[in-house]
Chain A
Amino acid sequence: MKNRLKVLRAERDWTQAQLAHELEVSRQTVNAIEKGKFDPSLPLAFKVARLFGLRIEEIFQYDGES
């Protein structure tokens, strides 16, 4: 699954640690999601979408690989 998390975070000038703090996850988890190594659960994806004020599909795109 592809995602725009890194871009959205950079647009807001947030660090991974700040984003992790907001999502109540570890910085490693934010990093793994940004790099596409870990796909978040649906509740976490909703939390990300709500935080950025976007719809889930505007952040995460299924590419059929993972």
Chain B
Amino acid sequence: MNPSSTDTAGWAERNKHNTKRLAVWTGAWLVTMAVAVFGPQLVWESNPTLTLLALAANLIVGAGMILANKTHLQGLDELQQRIQLEAMALALGVGLVLGLAYSTADITNLIPFDAEISHLVMLLGLTYLVGVFLGRRKYQ
């Protein structure tokens, strides 16, 4: 006997939908971020009202992205949630420890350049990706 396939098609479809929704919100957030950063330099030449509007749009879309991520995580099954949790814990820990060490190296002039927040964001992203990869391998 094969299990029925009509009433349970929803879970995978729902996950796909949540993932697509998160991708759209993330893309939109990146666009608003680019507008807020490059708009004052290249388009409206430091008009504070437009810059404020661009930043407000970035924050609002960012809130939407956070909610979409929450929905995405809640829609995952328990093993996937554990993999995500372990990856995020790794990213947070590495980001905190290396981020502060990096900042200290900048403050004490141990490094000849400024410690940029974008470096921390890249570190968080890469560590998170490594964490997800390791988690998937661990439970294979």
Contact = CB atoms under 8 A, between A and B. Distances in A.
Given A18-B3, A22-B3, A28 B78 contact: no
Interface residues of B, number: 19
Contacts of B78: 25, 29, 40-41, 44
A19 B82 CA distance: 20
A29 B139 CA distance: 8
Contact of A28 (B3, B5, B10, B140): B140
Contacts of B136: 28
A12 B11 CA distance: 22
Interface in A25-66: 25-26, 28-29, 31-32, 37-38, 40-41, 44, 51
Interface of B: 1-5, 8-12, 77-80, 82, 136, 138-140
